[in-house]
Structure formats: C-alpha cells, structure tokens
C-alpha cells in the first residue's frame, strides 16, 4: 500500500505538470493530444522517480524552445531547416525519440526500487540525465550549427563541404553548441543535487564530466548515423536532397528514396544515438 508521503508525491507529480502542460499548449510546442499526452506521462514518471529528473526534463524542454525561438530569424538557419523533417511543434514520435530512453529507464527504476530513488549518482540515474544531455547536445548543435556562415564539412570526408542542415555535416559552431548543450544539463544536475543535499559534495563533481561526455558522444553518434544509415530523399520537383518524405511546392509532391535505410528516419537516428551513448555509462560507472 501507498503511505501518506507516497500519495503526496503522486499528487504533486500531477499538479506540477499542469502549468507546464498549459504553457506548452499555449506556445504550441506540443501536438494535441499525442505529443501532449506523451510529454505528460514522461513528466509524471520522472517526477515520481525523483523531482530532480523532472527538473532536468524541464531544462531540456525550455532551453531548446528558447534557443529555437531566439534563432528563428537567422537566414542561414531558415535555409537549413528546409532540409529538416519537421517544424517546431513536437509530436508523439519526436517526444519518444528524445525522452523514450529516460522513460524506459525511469519505469525500470520504479519497478525495481519504488518511488523517490535517493541515490542520485547511481548508474541508472546518471543514464537518465545523460540521455537528456545527448538530446540537448543534438538540439543545440542543430540550433547553433545551422547559423554558421560557413557550410559544414562531411563527417566521413572533412575535405568535402555539404549544405547547412545536412545530417552528417559538422561545423565548429555546431560542435561548440553540442558541448554547451550537454554541459548545461550536467551542471544543472550537480547543482540540483547540491541543493537537495544542502551541501556541495566534491564526489559529485566527476558527474559533470561524465554526463557532458556522454551527451557529446550521443551527438557524435547522431551525426555518424545521419551520414550513413539515415534515410535520404530527393524531391522530383526542385531536385533537392531532403529528409522529408514530401515537399510542398504548388501542391504536395512525394519525394523519392535515394539513400540510407528507408525506416531510419531522423527520429530513429535520435533514439538510437541517445540510447547507445547513455548506455555507455555502464562502462564508466
Ligand atoms: Zn522540392
């Protein structure tokens, strides 16, 4: 049976997600009802594992939203985003691609140890944070990298330049973006631990390096998969290479599959790169 404190935790888990859900709804950052429900379930689950994990989800979500609004006027980025598969509103698949690893691990923590897991430096807890570091690294790399004046180089052949926004492209700005995006998540996690413990314990400092490393690793794997197995299409109308399954010119035009594995969409690439990077935590901790 649930005791008194557990019931309060579950109730708070619902209550804290209400204003966030309302804000996301007003800002149209989630599709309704799919993206909305997926985010609510992941938010609630993380909260009852530990409210710090929920705060990390919030930082991932808000920092990437702010960054994408901030850069939206940049002409280089606008040009690059024509290649991208989707716009700013996140649907259920995008939510799962970015938060699915954290959700699965959170459920297994609940199953194994119950509510409010206190050992914040345990591998499974670091895995959850690292998955958000990887998701944030990738988002920031794209947001910042696409504003670069210089076209990125191809990860498999650095002498070759590719158009901005191409999966598999690497730029200095994008790499710095991925490092900062990951570092932000890592630093916040250790700061939250210090606030939670009401003391700054040096034994948590290595977590900053570990989480940042895993996040950047995820971004690197993402780029590598983007260059190799990710599905590529070509528009028969404007002849441009794209990740989109269709283009809208005067009317909707279906694009032709020209490379990579057809089912390996950008969302699959995100999920696989986040999972493989954050699972690496078991080799470190
Ligand atoms: Zn086209």
Q: Are the C-beta atoms of residues 281 and 207 closer than 8 Å to each other?
A: no
CB neighbour list of residue 225: distance below 8 Å, 6 or more residues apart: 264, 269, 272, 273
Task: Please tell me the predicted confidence (pLDDT) of residue 164.
Answer: 85
Kindly state whether residue 164 falls inside one of the protein's structural domains. Answer: yes
Q: Are the C-beta atoms of residues 212 and 179 closer than 8 Å to each other?
A: yes
The alpha carbon of 129 and the centre of ligand 1 are apart by a number of angstroms equal to 38
Tens of pLDDT, residue by residue over 84-118, are 655 667 889 999 999 999 999 999 999 999 999 99
The alpha carbon of 83 and the centre of ligand 1 are apart by a number of angstroms equal to 10
Comparing CA positions, the residue from 20, 91, 25 lying closest to residue 60 is 20
Kindly state whether residue 191 falls inside one of the protein's structural domains. Answer: yes
Kindly state whether residue 251 falls inside one of the protein's structural domains. Answer: no
Task: Please tell me the predicted confidence (pLDDT) of residue 254.
Answer: 93
Domain extent at residue 121: 4-230+265-284
Task: Please tell me the predicted confidence (pLDDT) of residue 110.
Answer: 97
Handedness of CA 113, 116, 121, 126 (dihedral sign): positive
Phi-psi label, residue 247: left if phi above 0, alpha if psi -120 to 50, beta otherwise: beta
Task: Please tell me the predicted confidence (pLDDT) of residue 84.
Answer: 62
The alpha carbon of 167 and the centre of ligand 1 are apart by a number of angstroms equal to 17
Tell me how far apart the alpha carbons of residues 13 and 48 are, in angstroms, rounded to a whole number: 6
Kindly state whether residue 247 falls inside one of the protein's structural domains. Answer: no
Comparing CA positions, the residue from 95, 120, 96, 99 lying closest to residue 109 is 120
The alpha carbon of 220 and the centre of ligand 1 are apart by a number of angstroms equal to 28
Kindly state whether residue 252 falls inside one of the protein's structural domains. Answer: no
Kindly state whether residue 260 falls inside one of the protein's structural domains. Answer: no
Comparing CA positions, the residue from 59, 36, 40 lying closest to residue 48 is 40
Q: Which residues surround ligand 1, an ion (CB under 5 A)?
A: 235, 237-238, 247
Kindly state whether residue 145 falls inside one of the protein's structural domains. Answer: yes
Number of domains in the chain: 1
Kindly state whether residue 257 falls inside one of the protein's structural domains. Answer: no
Q: Are the C-beta atoms of residues 188 and 55 closer than 8 Å to each other?
A: yes
């Amino acid at each position: 049976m649930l005791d008194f404190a557990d019931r309060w935790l579950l109730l708070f888990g619902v209550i804290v997600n209400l204003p966030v859900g309302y804000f996301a709804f007003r800002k149209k950052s989630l599709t309704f009802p799919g993206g909305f429900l997926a985010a609510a379930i992941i938010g609630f689950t993380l909260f009852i594992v530990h409210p710090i994990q929920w705060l990390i989800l919030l930082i991932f979500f808000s920092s990437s939203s702010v960054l994408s609004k901030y850069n939206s006027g940049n002409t280089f980025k606008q040009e690059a985003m024509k290649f991208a598969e989707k716009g700013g509103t996140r649907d259920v698949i995008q939510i799962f691609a970015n938060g699915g690893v954290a959700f699965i691990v959170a459920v297994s923590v609940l199953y194994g140890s119950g509510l409010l897991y206190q050992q914040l430096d345990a591998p499974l807890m670091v895995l959850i944070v690292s998955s958000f570091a990887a998701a944030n690294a990738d988002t920031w790399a794209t947001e910042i990298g696409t504003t670069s004046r210089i076209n990125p180089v191809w990860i498999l052949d650095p002498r070759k330049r590719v158009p901005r926004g191409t999966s598999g492209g690497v730029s200095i700005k994008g790499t710095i973006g991925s490092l900062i995006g990951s570092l932000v998540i890592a630093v916040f996690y250790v700061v939250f631990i210090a606030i939670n413990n009401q003391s700054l314990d040096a034994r948590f400092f290595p977590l900053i390096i570990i989480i940042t490393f895993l996040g950047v690793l995820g971004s690197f794997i993402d780029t590598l998969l983007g260059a190799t197995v990710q599905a590529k299409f070509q528009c028969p109308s404007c002849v441009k290479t794209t990740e989109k399954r269709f283009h809208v010119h005067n009317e909707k035009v279906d694009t032709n599959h020209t490379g990579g594995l057809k089912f390996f969409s950008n969302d699959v690439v995100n999920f696989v790169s986040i999972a493989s990077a954050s699972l690496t935590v078991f080799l470190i901790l």
